[in-house]
């Protein structure tokens, strides 16, 4: 029985744990060969070892470094062939009031969440073009659709990802490369584990719970598969109805 991503070669950033790990596991289960890009070396190596060398490879990747991206794509091509899928999932959040937010902390979030997405799309383009096409999935957030207080840098970065996705979709379409953004709501991951504010918001939305990482991974799987062949430059929201309110 064939999988939905058989023959795909996918790079997943921030793939060592949390939401990224869910993407990796789902894609491998459906037949993709996946490169796990992360700065969490022990976790990434352990996940790749568990999934096996035929299906997964760990590459240490600082998404804010263009040189690191070039090296990661080269490793991917050497191990599995041309890149046909990219999940720009790596991200971080810094919670504080605007008056307490330092320039350094603001830039740290932007470097990963926004610059990392730009560099990732740029880095995989030649490989996808050589392969005859591909699919890019940029993980934004409901914070890229609505705004929340006390996470200014995160909100700015996720709005940027939404816009970058649309611009890239237009540029990449002639090469048969689709680019879409996924906007998760509150997901049960290490990023939200200690946030009572997040838990409370989840209890107030139409589906009164946090998402499980696998529920977001199912959307990513769809967008990387050929089932989504006519979707590009679009937002796909997985938020339990939060933004419907």
Q: Residue 169's closest CA among 144, 139, 138?
A: 138
Taking only the tens place, the pLDDT of each residue in 106-163 is 999 999 999 999 999 999 999 999 999 999 999 999 999 999 999 999 999 999 999 9
Query: What's the pTM?
Result: 0.95
Taking only the tens place, the pLDDT of each residue in 188-245 is 876 665 666 767 888 899 999 999 999 999 999 999 999 999 999 999 999 999 999 8
First-residue to last-residue Cα distance in the chain: 41
d(CA 35, CA 79): 9
Task: Name 23's Cβ contacts closer than 8 Å, sequence gap at least 6.
Answer: 12, 15, 87, 89, 216, 217, 220, 221
From the list 154, 222, 230, 242, the catalytic residue is: 154
d(CA 61, CA 40): 9
Q: Is 175 a catalytic residue?
A: no
């Amino acid at each position: 029985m064939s999988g939905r991503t058989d023959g795909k070669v996918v790079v997943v950033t921030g793939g060592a744990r949390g939401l990224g790990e869910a993407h990796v596991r789902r894609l491998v289960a459906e037949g993709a060969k996946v490169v796990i890009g992360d700065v969490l070396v022990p976790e990434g190596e352990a996940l790749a070892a568990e999934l096996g060398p035929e299906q997964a490879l760990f590459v240490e990747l600082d998404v804010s470094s263009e040189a690191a991206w070039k090296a990661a794509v080269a490793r991917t091509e050497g191990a599995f062939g041309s890149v046909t899928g990219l999940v720009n999932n790596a991200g971080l959040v810094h919670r504080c009031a605007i008056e307490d937010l330092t320039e350094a902390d603001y830039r740290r979030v932007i470097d990963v969440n926004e610059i990392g997405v730009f560099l990732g799309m740029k880095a995989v383009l030649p490989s996808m073009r050589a392969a005859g096409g591909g699919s890019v999935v940029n993980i934004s957030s409901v914070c890229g659709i609505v705004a929340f207080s006390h996470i200014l840098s995160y909100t700015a970065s996720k709005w940027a990802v939404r816009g970058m996705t649309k611009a890239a979709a237009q540029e990449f379409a002639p090469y048969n490369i689709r680019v879409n953004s996924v906007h998760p709501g509150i997901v049960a991951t290490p990023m939200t584990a200690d946030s009572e504010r997040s838990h409370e918001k989840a209890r107030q939305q139409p589906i009164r719970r946090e998402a499980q990482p696998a529920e977001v991974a199912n959307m990513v799987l769809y967008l990387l598969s050929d089932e989504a062949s006519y979707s590009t430059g679009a937002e796909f929201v997985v938020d339990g109805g939060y933004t419907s309110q």
